[in-house]
Structures are given as structure tokens and as C-alpha cells.
Chain A
Amino acid sequence: MQKETEKKEYVSLPYFGLNKLLPYLKPYRGTILGMVILCLLAGVIDIIIPLFQRYALDHFVALGSMDGLPLFIGSYVLVLLVQVISNIISCYQAGEIEMYVSRDMRRASFNHLQTLSFSYYNQNSVGYIHARVMSDTARIGGLVSWSLMDGVWNLSYIIGAIVVMLSINAPLALMVLVIVPLTALAAAYFQKHLVALNRKIREINSRLTGGFNEGITGAKTTKTLVVEKKMEDDFNAISSDMFRTSVRASHFRSLFISVISFSSFLALSLVLWRGGLITMEGVMALGTLSVFMSYALNLMEPIQWIVRAISDLITVQVNVERFTRLMETESDVRDTPEVIAKYGDAFEPHRENWEPLHGDIEFRDVSFKYPDGDEYVLEHFNLKVPQGTNVAIVGETGAGKSTLVNLVCRFFEPTSGQILIDGRDARERSQLWLHSNIGYVLQSPHLFSGTVKENLLYGRPDATMEEIEAAVKSVSAEGVIARMEHGYDSNVGEGGDLLSTGEKQLLSFARAILANPRIFVLDEATSSIDTVTERLIQNAIESLMKGRTSFVIAHRLSTIRQADVILVVKDGKIVESGRHEELMAAKGYYYNLYTRQFQEESINQVL
């Protein structure tokens, strides 16, 4: 299912994709403008400072008098202060822009994700989506602040230096300037190669991490097969590949730096030679020559920085593109404007207009295929589920048992046909209305970081302590809480990691019960939980289903023998349906599944 939306590393967008960022930059246009102006100023001051040296040499030293020293020091300190203050402000502004822009983009993408339908989540892995919210936004924030700052500052320095040099001595300046475009070309050449190599390095790096991952998770197998040597050799091959590629990158990087510094020296020697002649002829003062030399020497490094800023701009396009694609993805499941007007949206519900949900569900001539699939998994499917009915869905792992549940929960909408809830098309009411009435328990129970209590309150934040305790008791989870150090205020860890799967399962049941849903959906656990816990869970499930319309995706068939309807799914399609006895009598697929599973359970039953 994971069809990671193309992993391109390089894209080319009109205006480098910057136009797409405008909405996020606009609120900070004042700050950005201020930063640009200050960077221009900083560049100019960098040009001015060597002029003090020139003055000192040409006036104090050449004339042999220290007249005007107080004014000299005064103006020097003044310029220094202006520089320091403008640096402080512009750095601060760059930091602000970086953080605020990325914050706003994070917020926008996160909020947008809350409204996207499940087809998006099915097609993209969590890691991929997470990177859009966290990494892309950070990179873009960095670009519009620091790279912009580097670019402007250095550009202003280069232009300023050229202007001053030209005004001091045009022919000499022109000689130096010949070197500039050559340096820029060289820099661009190296940068391009480096970007390509870095891409390759990242690729190998993920293979290395994969290698470690496999070496660790597969340790048991490696040992039983005695293939440690082979695994080592294979890993060493990847790490040697990394070595070779990185050394190549290092070669280019070193060459790059060397070329830049060579052109600086070249400029210096040119100035000393031609400038020396002019100075000897008395056309130029000594101090002027020294200043000229310092400009020539310092001209090349800013070029390197500008080239780097441009290359940042090129590489960041891929982040801009991924981010905007996320923002432009529209949900497959959307409430109509009329529905939103009456029932509210996901963030601002109008609960006062919500009708109570009774729990009759009907599939009427429903056909369905997943947005990313070609094949219909349901065709003209009809099923009436009166309030209180218990529907079980069974089949092998990966057979597509979740489809029906996804439709009931309106995580997906039928390609054609209707799903009626209490006799009305599900689309006539808002998603939030429906979801607020559904209790959903996953086979891999998901808890959020925080305390036990916070997690229990997730479905109904205003529940009282008595209600919480009653819910916990009804699923026999009080033992779990009693075992924890701080009771209800104990931390459950990231994703509930501090608890065992069985404990998480019980808490998620309690959470669902507390929300008092009309429809109950249960994706039953497959993981091996000890028998005591399992019995507890079984009891909890029964108390949950009492009086509610329920859908159970079952893995242990013994638990659903009493279900009102059993739907048997194979390769994504419903192949059999009926009560347990009917299906057993039919001796079909269900019969096979059931007998196979029963063997294991019989042992647990006897022992």
C-alpha cells in the first residue's frame, strides 16, 4: 500500500518555487526587508573598515603626524558600533524569520493533515508525512533567512568592493575583476558536483542504517544460520562504498576551497605587481595599495558564499515542492458547505445542531475501490445492520478486512451507492458528528504520551473521575492502574511504550467505553498476550458490545462464534457470510480457517 509519492531529490520550479511560499513570507515582509537592508549596510561597512587602514597609512604614517587621531578613533568606533548593532539586529531578525516562517508552515501543514482523508495516509508512510511537517519546513525556514542573509551580505560586499576599487584605480580594478567570473564559474562547477555527490552519500547512508537495522533485528536468524561472516562482508561492502563516495566528495570540496584561495592569491600578486609599479611612479599612495590588496584578497570568499546560497536555493526546491504538494492535496472525504454550515467542521463543531445517533446502518448497493487501486473490492454490496447487531469480519492477515469498517467510519466514501445511518445518507451529516459517535479500538492500541488519565479522557474530556473509574472497572482494567506507581497520573511513555500491549489494549477499551459511543468498531488484537489478560480483554469486549451496533475485525475466530453476522473476506472481497453454524456447514473457506485456528486453542484449553 505504501506508495511513497516519488522520492525525487531534485526538481525545478518556476521562480524556484518561492512564489508558493509568499503566503508564509508575507506576514514578515517588514522583518525581511529590514534584514535585507541591514545586510546591505553590513556589506558596505565591511568595505569601509579597510579605508581606515588606508587613512592611517596615508595620513598618520606617510605624513608622520598623529593629528586628527581623536576624530579618527571616534569615527572608527562609531562605524564599529553601527556594524555591531546592525549585525545583532540582522542576526536576530534572520533567526526570527527562520523560526516564524517554519512555525507557520508547520502549523499550516499539521492542521491541513487533520482534514485529509485516509487515502492519503494509506499512500504515504508516517515517516514520509512527518518529514514534510518537520524537516521541509525547517529547511525552507533556513533558506529564507540565513541563505538570504548570506547572499545579500556577500553580494553587497562584492559590489561595494568593486565600486571602491574602480574608483581608486580603474585599470587595476579591472585586472582583478577578470578573476571574479572565473572564480564564480569554478565555484558553480564544484558546487554542482558536490550537490550530486551529497545526494549519493545520503542514499548510501540510508543503506548503511538499513544494514545496521537488519544486522540487529535479524541477529537471531544470522546466528542460527551461522552467516555472521557473510553479513559482515556485505555490510563492509556498503561502508566501503560510502568511504569511496565520501572521499570523492572530499576531493571536490578540497579542490573547491583550494581554487578559491588560489584565485585570492592570484589577485593579490597581480595587485602587488601592477599596483607596485603605479605606486613607485607615485600615482598611488602606499596605504591605498595596501587597501587595494586587502580588497583583492577578500573578494573571492564572498563569491563562494553566494554560490552556496544559490545552490541552497536550488536544492530547497524539492522541499518546497513536497510541502506544497501536501498543502494542495485535497481530502477525498469532504463535508459539503451546507453540512458544515449546520454541523460545523472538524475544528469548530456546532454541537447544538447534532441529532443523536441511534445506530441503524445500511449498505445500499455499495461499490467501492480504493482511490489508489484499480479493482473494485465491493460490488453492489447490500447489508442491513439494525441497531444492536454484532457484525464480525474475518479473514487472513492482509486480506482487506478493514474496508467495511473504513466505509462505516466514513474514512472512505463509497465509489457508488450509499451508506445510510439511521436511514439517512452518511454524507448528510458531518464527519465529526459521525466520529463522535463511534468508539474505535485498534489492534495495535495507540496511546498518546501523557498520563493514564489524559489518555482515558481523550474521547470525552469532560468526564468525571467517577465515570472514569466506572469505565475502567467495566473492562477490568483497574489492575493495570493499580500496578502503576502514580495510578491515574502515571506517565504512559511515548506512544504508551511504558505499558505492555495487553495493558494498552485494556486502557484503550476503557477510553472507548468512556466516550459512550453508539457504534463500536474493534480491530481485534493478534499479538500474543498471556491467557489471563486475554480473558480479561474478552470480557471487556463483551461488555463493550452490549446494546451497541458493533463491527469486530476478528483474528481469533473462537471469539466471534456468537456474532449476528460473520463476513468472510479473502483477497479483499467478501466471499462468504452468515452465522457461524451456517458457515461451518458450508465447509468453505471459513471452515478451513476455523479448524486451523482451533488446533492451537485446543491446547491452551486443555493445558
Chain B
Amino acid sequence: MKKTTEQRYTKSSLVIHFLKGNLHYFVICIAASFGVTLLEMILPQIVRGTVDSVIGSDPFSFPAFITDRLNAMGGGAYFREHLGLIALVIIFLSVLAVLCRYATNFYNGKGSEALMRTMRNELFAHIQHLPFAWHMRNQTGDIIQRCTSDVERVKIFVAEQLTSIIRIVILMILSLLFMFSMNVRLSLIALCSVPIIIGYSAFFHSRIGARFQECDENEGILSTIAQENLTGVRVVRAFGREKFERDRFEKQNQHYTGLWVRLMTLMSAFWGAGDLISGLQVMLILVLGSVFCVQGTLSVGQFIAFLSYNSMLIWPVRQLGRVISEMSKAGVSVDRIMYIMNAPAEQDKPNALTPDMHGDIVFDHVSFGYEGSVAIVHDVSFRIPHGSTFGILGATGSGKSTLMHLLNRLYELPPENGKITIGGVDIADMKASWVRKHIGMVLQEPFLFSRTIAENIGITHRDMSMEEIRRAAQIACVDDAISEFANGYDTVVGERGVTLSGGQKQRTAIARMLTQQAPIMVFDDSLSAVDSETDAKIRQALHQNLGDSTVILISHRVTTLMQADCIMILDQGRIAEMGTHDQLMKKGGIYRRIYDLQMDAGKEGEDAERN
């Protein structure tokens, strides 16, 4: 899904956009439903003709071309002999009607599923391409809600409400046409009731909407009480508050139930009144129709047909009011989806570059703060020569990870806040995907996808061979651990019963990054959960396999960083010290103190032993 420019949707243009490519299903559906309605209208006419002119003895009163044809065949007398023929015609037409009905429902279903698929896929793709800052701003649960419930509601709007309105209108027009063609006076009377029923039902449903919402909200509260009780079960027990919880739940349970029962009173009164109105309308038509028959202005067959049309009309008209009042709810959902679709996706500059990435990394007067918060990095400048190992040491929140987020363009550095170059080219001028492809990054808290370990490690390339995957795992010192699982590399991450320890996760993520074969590798505190021994082993293996890659190591552990070509100490977003291990030790500053402390901790045991 490539949008050429950042287009912003309006409510209607978004719905139209989603409908693109799926509209034909709904067109077929409506056309077929027209067929159903028409055929269902014709059937009563056949019954009428049969009753009046075959069973009765009136002349046929169809449009001239049909009447002529029928008379040519021998008129009522012929059909009296061949009544079975009429039954066959009915069966034939009903087969047609049934086919149309199938098409109506099937294409409506297919259309709505296709629409949902389009919406889901587009949302997913768009979310994938939204900047990381957007992800940080929004809550996962809320976004998922928009991608599921709201998508569903938009589907209901298009596939159920919009199409059913069109279908009901077609049905109304057709049945009124037939009714008027038979008897104008009676039709007018039947027609009178239509606005009354629609208005009554629309009025009621719009009024009752608030009560429905109240019920929903109270169900939400009840559900939350249960949820909190279950998640906080330890707190409840530890404070011995079972009785309090019981009473709280019971109170809301009663309240919620009471609301629904009251709503039910209204609803059943409404349904009852609706039944009464339509029942009276049917009676009125029946009585007046009889009067007209007696007066001779209406034939018996016409009367019977009229009654059929009238009953066909009543139910959809009652529905129409409800549909109209419920349609307004869809607007909110479209809005909520629009919020995602209108968020600007990550975008490269026109003619973004894809230069060679085997060059020096330079941070040039970089300052940065996340949206709405104070600056985290203050005017930081340093150079990492290509092929060297660079260590960063700093307290939690000193801005280490932020620097890496900027390097990887997870956050965009505004031009006035300095620049970051690789091989002399500003990374802001490069394609973001190019930058990321060439920077292998292992995050502090690695995220593994819920698929097999092999798929996780081999995710960066299609058709990666098992050898390559295992090779990466071996370098990351996780091959043995994986092989010990019952399903080995086919173990699905996150499935019940299988839990990877923090260290195993980190090492798997390292293996995954290694398959990227990037010229720049960043280890963002990614060995924190493994013990010093394994840490050293991994670093050793990495060292042998890195080639001429640039390595950036972030760690709390001095021993991890000691051998780096250059070590930078960050303090509250500023460079406190920088140099090689020896230089920094000689300097006797912060680094030295940290080193001494860490080494002392190791010695503490020995001291205790001696004492």
C-alpha cells in the first residue's frame, strides 16, 4: 500500500476508499435483491389471476401484452384444465426468486467479508508504517479495539444498514407500485401508515439509545469490578475483604440488572405498540378491502393480492425506523478508524539516498527530547570510526538508548537539533529502511514473535537455510539451549508451557540480528540477563565473526566494555568522559570509580572469606 502523497481522508472518502474493489459485490447483491422483490411481487399477481380468472370467471386483467398472450392460449378455460401449469410457473418463478435470494445473501456476505479484509489489511499495513513516536503515544488496547470492533461496526453500517435501506426502499416502491396499479384508494390508505410506523420507530430508537448506552456502561463497570477482583485476588485475600468485594459486586450486579429490566419494559411496550399499529393497519385494509369488494370496485383476486403486498410492506417498514436510528452510531466508528488512517506514515525525503554504509558514524551536536518532555540528550558530538568497537556506559535514563533510537531513525532528529552522518551522509537524507537494514540492533527488552524459534531467527530473509539459522544461534551461544527444548528450533515462542528465560530471549534476539549481516551492530544492554561468563563467551564468538563491522555496545558492566576501542560515559544526556579503558583509568574520573566499585563487589566475597 503506497500512498503517493499524504492524503487525509474524510469520513465518506474513507468509506469509499475501503469500498473500492469491493463495491461490485454490493451492486450484485442489490440487483439480486431487486430480483427477489420483483419476483415476490409477481407471485401474488399469479395467485390473483388464478383466483379471479381461472377459479373465478372474470377476464384476465394484466397489462395488455400479457392478457393478449393468455387469451391467445385459451383464457381462463384453458388454465382451468391445466391448473398444474400454474403451479409449475410458480415453482419456476420461485426457483428464480430463490436463486436471486441466494445471490443477495451470498454477495452481501462476500462483500462484507471482502470489505473487512480490505479494512484490516490496510489498517495493519498502515500501522506498520506509522512512525515509532506514534506507537509510543497510543495504547495498544485502544488501537486493537479500533481495528476490530470499529471495523466490525463499519461493516455492519455498509453491509447491513446501507444495503437494507436500499432494499427496503426498493421493496416499498415496488409493492406500492403494484398496489396502486390495482386500487388507488386502498393504496393511499395503506401508504398513510408508512410514515407513522417509520417515524414512531425512529423516534423510539433514538430516544432509547441513551438507555442502551447506560446499560452498556454499567455492564462495563460490573465487568471491571469482576476483572479487578480477579487480578487483585491476592490483595483481596491478604486484606480479608471478601465480604466487601461480594457486596460491591452484588450492588452493581443489582443495579445493572435493574437497568436492563427497566429497558425491557420499554422495549416490550414499544414492540407491543408496534404490533398494535401494524395489526390495526392490516385490519383496516381487510375491512375496507371487503367493503370495496362488496361495492364491486375491487375483485376478490385483487383483494387477496393486495393483502399479500400489504403484509410484505409492513415488516420492512418497521425495521426501517430502527436502521435509520442506529446508522448514526457508525459515524463514531468511522472517526475512530480515520484517526489511524489519517496519521501520517513514515516518509522518506524525495530521492532519498542509499549510500554505502561502511563509513564512520558521526553525531554532530545532537540534542533531543521526546515529544512534550524535557530534553534527554544535550549537544552530544562524537565519532565512531568504521570497524571499531564503541562502548557506552551510563545510568538508567541517561540517554543511551535515545542515541540509538536516533541512529536507527526510530525517532527523527529535527534538522535544527544537529545531525547524524554515516560515511559523511546525513541519515535523514537516506531511506529509513536502508538505514535500519544496515544497522543491526538488539533491544534491551527483546521482542520475539509468536512463531517458531527458527522463524524468529530467520525472519530477516526469506528462505533462510537451517544451517544459517543454527550458525547465528551458535555465535549467540543459544544453540545448545534451543536444542534442549522438546521441539528444538520448532518450539513456538510464547505458547503454553514454553517460556524462554530472559537470557535465552536476549541471545535469540542476538542471533536474529546476526542474520541481518549489517555493517553496524548495536547491542543495547542486550546481555544484561546473561551471566558474566556467557557474556564473555558471546563477545568472543562475536569478535571472531564480526568481520569489519562497527560495533556499539551499551552496558552496565565495565568488563563488557573494557576492550572497546573507545568508551563514552553519558551522564544525564551529556558526555561525561570518553576514551580507551587505559586512558580513562589513568584519568581517575567517573569511569575509574565505577570500575573500582564493580571490581570491589567481586572482591567482597573474597574479603569475607578471608575474615
Using known A-B contacts A266-B91, A495-B231, determine if residue A261 contacts B246 with beta carbons closer than 8 Å. no
Contact check, B87 vs A273: say whether CB atoms are below 8 A apart.
yes
Contact, CB under 8 Å: B300 / A286: yes
Residue of B nearest to A210 (CB): B450
Say what secondary structure dominates the interface of chain A: helix
Distance in angstroms between the alpha carbons of A595 and B559 in the assembled complex: 12
Q: Which residues of B contact A57 (CB under 8 A)?
A: 290, 300, 303-304
* A219 pairs with B132, CB closer than 8 A: yes
**Interface hits, B526-584 → A, CB 8 Å:** 528, 531-532, 556-558, 569, 571-572, 576
Report the number of A-B residue pairs with Cβ-Cβ less than 8 Å. 433
Stretch among B142-150, B193-201, B351-359, B480-488 lining the A interface: B142-150
The answer to whether A272 and B86 touch across the interface, beta carbons within 8 angstroms, is yes
Q: Is the CB of A279 within 8 A of B304?
A: no
Point out the residues of chain A lying under 8 angstroms from B147, CB to CB.
212
Q: Are B395 and A604 in contact (CB under 8 A)?
A: yes
Contact between B105 and A253 (Cβ–Cβ < 8 Å)? Answer: yes
Q: Would you call B243 and A442 a contact (CB within 8 A)?
A: no
Chain B interface residue count, Cβ-Cβ cutoff 8 angstroms: 156
Q: For B223, what are the chain A residues with a Cβ–Cβ distance below 8 Å?
A: 130, 134
Quick one: CB contact mask for A466-492 with B, threshold 8 Å, 1 for yes? 000000000000000000000000000
Contacts of A216 in B (CB 8 A): 127, 135, 140, 143-144
Rounded to whole Å, the gap between the CB of A589 and the closest CB of chain B is 10
- Chain B nearest CB from A458 CB (Å) reads 6
Which chain B residue shows the least CB distance to A217? B140
Interface residues of A in 395-434 (CB under 8 A from B): 396-398, 409, 411, 431-432
CB nearest to B235 among chain A residues: A446
CB of A209, distance to nearest CB on chain B (Å): 6
In the complex, which residues of chain B have a beta carbon less than 8 angstroms from the beta carbon of A253? 105, 109
Residues on B with beta carbons closer than 8 Å to the beta carbon of A272: 47, 50, 83, 86-87, 90
- Whether A61 contacts B558 in the complex (CB less than 8 A), given A222-B128, A596-B532, comes out as no
CB distance from B223 to the nearest CB of A (A): 5
B residues in contact with A236, CB < 8 Å? 121, 124
Contacts of A255 in B (CB 8 A): 102
A10 contacts chain B at the CB level, 8 A cutoff: no
Are A515 and B124 in contact, with the CB atoms below 8 A?
no
A64: chain B residues within 8 A (beta carbon): 294
Query: Are B253 and A103 closer than 8 Å at their CB atoms?
Result: yes
Q: B264 contacts A232, CB within 8 Å?
A: no
Known: A107-B250, A398-B501. Contact between A133 and B98, CB under 8 A? no
Task: Check A195 for interface membership: any CB of B closer than 8 A.
Answer: no
- The answer to whether A77 and B114 touch across the interface, beta carbons within 8 angstroms, is no
Q: A3 CA to B496 CA in the complex, in Å?
A: 7
Docked complex Cα distance between A587 and B398 (Å)? 33
Say yes or no: A448 contacts B293, CB within 8 Å.
no
Q: B446 contacts which chain A residues (CB < 8 A)? A: 221
Known: A65-B294, A220-B410, A232-B125. A595 touches B254 (CB 8 A): no
A-contacting residues, B242-258, CB 8 Å = 242-246, 249-250, 253-254, 256-257
Whether the Cβ atoms of B246 and A440 lie closer than 8 Å is: no
Q: Which of B216-248 contact A (CB under 8 A)?
A: 222-246
Q: Are A209 and B393 also in contact (CB < 8 A) when A255-B102, A258-B98 are?
A: no
Would A432 and B121 count as touching, CB distance under 8 A? no
B261 at interface by CB-CB < 8 Å: yes
Contact residues of A between 352 and 410, Cβ < 8 Å to B: 396-398, 409
Mask of A574-603 contacts with B, CB within 8 angstroms, 1/0: 000000011011010001101110111011
B415 within 8 A of A: no
Q: Does B62 contact A (CB under 8 A)?
A: no
Contact segment of B276-284, B322-330, B370-378, B416-424: B276-284
A211 close to B (CB within 8 Å): yes
